[in-house]
Amino acid sequence: LLASGVIAAEQMDSIPLGLRLLTAASKAEGCAPDRGDDLVASSSSAAQRACTLIHRNAIDQAVNDDNWKLAVKLLQLMNERSLTPATSVMRKVVSVCTKMEKSRKATALLLDWVTRAEEGKAEKPPLPIFNNVVNTCEICGEEDLTLVVLEALKKVHETEGNIVTTNIALKRLAKQGNLIAVEGLIIGMLQAGVEPNVVSYTTAIGGCVKAEDSAMAYEWMKRMRSRNVLPNYHTYNTALAACLDGKFESTARASTIATEMIGEVGREIAEGLKGTVEYNSVVPDKYTKVLARSLMKQLRENWRADDINIQVAKSTLRVPLLQLVDFEKSDAASEAKRRKEETCSADGDEECVDDVISRVVSMTKEHRRMEV
């Protein structure tokens, strides 16, 4: 009788009624050692299908409402009632937990999914799900969980992950200023046939900010060029931030980096932007100006400490830094802004250039605080 009621509830699209009937069945006496709701769900193929659809639709509603607790509870009930959740259902439940930054619950669900896959009860979790969970663990500062998920990824997919996963792992190491581990991870990427991108190298340079190692930051810039990966303005900003350690050698290195940035800007204006503003442009932004000013102050302290002659400093090292400070007043800046506007318009992006700059200023400031 209850099975017929559940089938009718599904046909009427009455999710609450169907769930209430199954709850009533779970409390029925005389079913031991089985559960009443389990017996109802397995009584016929029609009942099983109805129960599965009711739970799936209820989970969809919970996910749409960002109700992660309800979504998790419903998934748990599916398992208790011997109902097999589809991969799409499990993905949605894990995703809503990552969206709400519930790293521990998302990790627990993912690991349970991995166990079910090993037992042949489910398909193995797709790589993007691992990426989402790793990213959530990073956001929540759960470094131990990050390692657990990465190990599970390696076990399930027999890989260290794709570029997204690896960049997330790089971010964790860069936050710690662990340059040896960062270098090892990028070498591992290359050995696994995963080519590091501009985000990978910029993140590695971000680790140099934490470690106050401007020499290694510049070394990473040379390495990325050797792999035909061109730095963008995020990369340059991060490398300049790594030079803010008070040392004269770092100031001189920052001047070299500024010279290269100015040269790349001229090339971009002459040849046109190839790619997107966000990932390919080298045009200085407002944060570049802030960094250049700070480096000019550092240079002033250097000559006051007799690290360099003041006249030599003003005629050499300060020149490219001053060019970055005054860039927005130059003809090159006007041309760059015009081209950016054309790019945004051509891409159908309604955001104006100032909006884009505001967003990336926030991102690059995070680099300086090591939120790479």
For 302-324, write each residue's pLDDT tens digit: 999 999 999 999 999 999 999 99
- Residue 363 pLDDT class (50, 70, 90 cuts): very low
Confidence check: pLDDT of 171 > 90? no
Question: What is the end-to-end Cα distance of the chain in Å, rounded?
Answer: 59
Max mean pLDDT range (39-43, 45-49, 127-131, 366-370):
45-49
Tokens of 45: 């193929």
CB-CB contact of 10 with 18 (8 Å): yes
Q: What residues contact 68, with CB distance under 8 A and at least 6 apart?
A: 62, 93, 96, 97, 99, 100, 102, 105
Among residues 300, 347, 343, 346, which one has the least CA distance to residue 322? Answer: 300
Tokens of 137: 């663990």
Angle at CA 98, nearest 5°, toward 58 and 369?
A: 160
pTM for the model stands at 0.63
| C-alpha span between 132 and 32 (Å, rounded) | 41
Indicate if the alpha-carbon torsion angle 12, 15, 20, 22 is positive or negative. Answer: positive
75: how many CB neighbours lie within 10 A of its CB?
23
User: DSSP state, 327?
Assistant: G
- 104-156 pLDDT per residue, tens: 999 999 999 999 999 988 899 988 898 889 888 878 888 788 878 888 888 88
